[in-house]
Amino acid sequence: MNKNEFIAEVADRSGMSKSDAASAVDCVIDVITDSLQRGGEVRLVGFGTFHVTQRAATTGRNPRTGEKIQIPASRQPKFKAGKALKDMLN
């Protein structure tokens, strides 16, 4: 399911217009993104948790030349599925 299909499904289930549903979906994504940028986390009980982890700097290898390269440290977004979501899938 892509974003447009997701928006259409939200519009159908909620009775909103597609433009209102698109605005709501974009707003939810913006709130999650803003929280993660500030280093926070977003917990949606029954669904899961979005959080940020720190990845340390490492030494990698260019597969084409075999040359060693330095990969800088970075912050990575992560999602951990909640128990209710896991139970629905199994």
Count how many Cα atoms sit within 13 Å of the Cα of residue 22 in the half-sphere of its side chain.
Answer: 8
Task: Check residue 61 and give its pLDDT.
Answer: 94
Structure tokens at 46: 């029954």
Round to whole Å and give the CA distance between 30 and 32.
Answer: 5
The count of structural domains within the chain is: 1
**What digits encode the pLDDT tens for the residues 5-48?**
999 999 999 999 999 999 999 999 999 999 999 999 999 999 99
DSSP 57: P
Element (H, E) at 54: strand 48-55
DSSP 72: P
- CATH number of the domain enclosing 68: 4.10.520.10
pTM comes to 0.79
Domain range holding 33?
3-89
Neighbours of 20 (CB within 10 A): 14
